[in-house]
Amino acid sequence: MLEVSGLSAGYGHGSVVQDINLQVARGEAVALLGPNGAGKSTLLGALSGTLRERTGAVRMGGIDLCGLPSHAIVAAGLVQVPEGRRMFAPMSVEDNLRLGTVRLQGGSARVAQQFDYVYQLFPRLAERRHQLAGTLSGGEQQMVAIGRALMSSPRLLLLDEPFLGLAPLVVQEIRHALDALRTTGLTMLLVEQKLDIALPFTTRAYVMVKGRIALEQPSPQLAARADLGQLYFDLAKDR
């Protein structure tokens, strides 16, 4: 589904992420771990095209996305749920979700179908469809952010720390939704700091340290390494 090779990206003064090689197979859920500042969000931005300063190859289904603008990348099926659940606060839940359909083919029937799909996945959003997004709880806002990405019918979903700062109950609710998406065969790349969330959900994990992929391991094997802080420290030492 996704094949990244030799990808480097940054913000104008040298590369923040360097020589990234990673693959995600169709239907697979893969974790991207790493300490604060490792470059995880930068990498997602380079994949989704919100960060234009990038070199290397990002292939999806054989097409190189690297030269494409972000809207064309969305149209190709790669969609990012950004860090920090950016939404349009003065707009309703429904209007925020509708923004995700800009690149969707198939007219109003298709849009209605996507609304049904997202409201079924997040019944809370259906109840609050006319509420202004800015007045939602943090968890509900995260549901809108994920829902908006799903409205465009992605083939590959990139999730950037979707559970950050959320209470355990709502974390569970969103986890259930992501589990349901996984069972439908949706391919996902999940950036996550907590192993107990990331590893049961995924089959493989990449660990990023100082802008590079320092380790790739099957998730169950990584789960056996209890101390993530120590792992990051050991990997950073070798860099």
Ligand X SMILES: Nc1ncnc2c1ncn2[C@@H]1O[C@H](COP(=O)(O)OP(=O)(O)OP(=O)(O)O)[C@@H](O)[C@H]1O
**Residues of the shown chain interacting with ligand X in the complex, contacts defined by CB under 6 A:** 11, 16, 34, 36-42, 83
Nearer to ligand X, 3 or 83 (CB): 83
What minimum distance in Å lies between the beta carbon of 67 and Mg ion?
25
In the numeric block, the tokens 């290397």 are attached to 56
Helix (H, G, I), strand (E, B) or coil at 103: coil
Applying CB under 5 A, which of residues 8, 15, 41, 142 lies at the interface with Mg ion?
41
CB of 15 to Mg ion, least distance (A): 16
Nearer to ligand X, 36 or 105 (CB): 36
Stretch that binds Mg ion, among 36-44, 102-110, 142-150, 173-181 (CB under 5 A): 36-44
116 alpha carbon, distance to own chain's centre: 22
Residues 83-112 that bind Mg ion (CB under 5 A): 83
Shorter beta-carbon distance to Mg ion: residue 140 or 192:
192
Question: d(Cα 82, Cα 105) in Å, to the nearest integer?
Answer: 23
114 binds Mg ion (CB under 5 A): no
Tokens of 95: 């209007």
Rounded-to-10 torsion of CA 198, 199, 204, 207: 60
Q: Which is nearer to ligand X, 58 or 151 (CB)?
A: 58
Token digits of residue 132? 């202004």
Strands in the chain per DSSP E: 2-10, 15-24, 29-33, 54-60, 63-64, 78-81, 156-160, 187-191, 204-209, 212-218
Q: Which span sits near Mg ion by CB under 5 A: 37-45, 67-75, 112-120, 138-146?
A: 37-45
What does 39 interact with, of ligand X, Mg ion, none (CB < 5 to 8 A by kind)? ligand X
Query: CA-CA distance, 95 to 78, in Å (whole number)?
Result: 21
At closest approach, how far in Å is the CB of 146 from ligand X? 17
Residues that bind Mg ion (CB under 5 A): 40-41, 83
